[in-house]
């Protein structure tokens, strides 16, 4: 028994120190008007092997971070209410796919000019077209916010529709262009197979949850276990990236009567493990690569402005969306967790090099800060 304690103590120490540092830096970030996510990213940089001082075990924290991103995107999938969006913000249903298509159409040729493969160019342009649901939620709940209710609902609706659109496009891109031992028919069959499993789960899980809804401890365990199991099953059996599978898993119980209770049950776990996910992102930023990475980061930020922010403003005006179009464009003007997932896939499959990957990470940090600050500049509505 003593040996077990000795073996696991370093992991407990790492988690404790990282969470303490993240909480402290998150508090500092909020005090200066930035989202706590920025503090978590900076914590990752402090405990990374690329900076002096304490170094957390990446492999050990990565497991917990993977749980975090699965629960994070699982909860996002649960939160989507397409019927409400179609009823109250109809323009979002066609505006978001149009915005994602514009982003891919602009970004892909730019990256191809840098001798990045078509697979890498598509993943990068798709990652830029996506926004951070976590940051957008923070924007709409911040005590410093200057957004009205209509703009906040539009921001949330735009973010979740981006996730739906992005997952569908990413699944197709990975099936067609990704490095895999599977043939294209088998890859597409894997996607179809997971959809069938998700459909069956959507029928069975709500019944199980209703049986235990008054048993709070069991309801919590079932809620977390469902998200983790379906996400991992999507990867192990069907070859779908776990983060994307987690999002689809959330969609499976989206229309359950117990949806809101599931969200409330997993939120504390999501928030705790998601901290480690953003810490991991920060720990991958390699300062020695900055000189090579910053031009690529600037390029990404330029594409964010011209291929995402401006199209969002124009589409909001065309669709007569009930929102401040400037704040909507600024609010989605960052790259976040989905972008990191797609960028990591591109890097792991040698579609981009190390400096370009660090450039993606720098863009994540800078665009999050810029987006949060810009949303607060225009409290008045711009007529659509």
Domain of 84, CATH number, reads 1.20.1530.20
Residue 2 belongs to a domain: no
35 within domain boundaries:
no
pLDDT for position 382: 47
pLDDT in tens, 225-284: 887 888 888 878 877 777 777 777 777 666 566 666 776 777 777 777 778 778 888 888
Burial class (CB in 10 A: 0-12, 13-18, 19+), 336: buried
- Identify the segments of the chain with pLDDT beneath 50: 1-5, 380-384
Q: What is the pLDDT of residue 383?
A: 46
SS3 call for 171: helix
Answer whether residue 25 is part of any domain.
no
- Which whole-number Å values give the CA distances from 26 to 13, 128, 331, in the listed order? 20, 25, 20
Asked if residue 244 belongs to a domain, the reply is: yes
pLDDT at position 12: 79
Would you say residue 41 lies in a domain?
A: no
User: Which pLDDT score is estimated for 253?
Assistant: 66
- The Cα-based distances of 191 to 9, 196, 253 in angstroms read 40, 9, 18
Query: Is 23 inside any structural domain?
Result: no
Structure tokens given for 374: 């810009």
Residues 338, 344: Cα–Cα separation, whole Å: 10
pTM over 0.95: no
Domain count, the chain: 1
Residue 53 domain flag: no
Distance CA 263, CA 220 (A): 10
pLDDT per position as a tens digit, 111-123: 999 999 999 999 9
Q: How far apart are CA 219 and CA 18, in angstroms?
A: 29
Domain that holds residue 186: 62-375
pLDDT at residue 102 in the model: 95
**pLDDT at site 171:** 77
């Amino acid at each position: 028994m003593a040996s077990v304690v000795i073996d696991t103590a370093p992991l407990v120490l790492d988690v404790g120190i990282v969470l303490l540092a993240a909480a402290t830096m998150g508090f500092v970030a909020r005090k200066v008007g930035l989202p706590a996510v920025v503090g978590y990213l900076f914590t990752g940089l402090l405990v990374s092997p690329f900076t002096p001082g304490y170094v957390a075990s990446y492999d050990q924290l990565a497991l917990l971070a993977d749980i975090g991103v699965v629960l994070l995107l699982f909860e996002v999938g649960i939160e989507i209410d397409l019927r409400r969006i179609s009823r109250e913000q109809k323009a979002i249903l066609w505006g978001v796919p149009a915005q994602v298509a514009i982003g891919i159409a602009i970004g892909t040729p730019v990256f191809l000019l840098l001798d990045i493969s078509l697979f890498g160019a598509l993943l990068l342009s798709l990652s830029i077209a996506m926004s951070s649901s976590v940051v957008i939620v923070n924007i709409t709940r911040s005590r410093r916010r200057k957004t009205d209710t209509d703009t906040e609902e539009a921001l949330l609706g735009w973010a979740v529709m981006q996730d739906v659109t992005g997952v569908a496009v990413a699944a197709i891109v990975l099936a067609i262009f990704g490095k895999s031992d599977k043939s294209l028919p088998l890859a597409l069959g894997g996607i179809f197979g997971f959809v069938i499993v998700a459909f069956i789960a959507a029928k069975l899980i709500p019944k199980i949850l209703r049986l235990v809804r008054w048993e709070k401890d069991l309801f919590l365990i079932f809620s977390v276990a469902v998200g983790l199991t379906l996400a991992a099953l999507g990867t192990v059996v069907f070859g779908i990236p776990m983060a994307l599978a987690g999002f689809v898993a959330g969609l499976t119980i989206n229309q359950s009567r117990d949806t809101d209770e599931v969200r409330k049950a997993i939120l504390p776990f999501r928030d705790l493990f998601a901290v480690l996910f953003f810490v991991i992102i920060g720990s991958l930023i390699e300062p020695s690569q900055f000189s090579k990475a910053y031009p690529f980061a600037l390029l990404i930020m330029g594409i964010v402005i011209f291929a995402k922010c401006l199209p969002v403003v124009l589409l909001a005006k065309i669709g007569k969306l009930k929102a401040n179009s400037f704040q909507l464009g600024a609010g989605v003007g960052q790259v976040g967790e989905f972008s990191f997932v797609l960028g990591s896939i591109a890097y792991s499959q040698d579609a981009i090099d190390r400096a370009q990957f660090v450039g993606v990470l720098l863009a994540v940090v800078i665009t999050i800060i810029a987006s949060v600050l810009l949303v607060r500049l225009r409290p008045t509505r711009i007529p659509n």
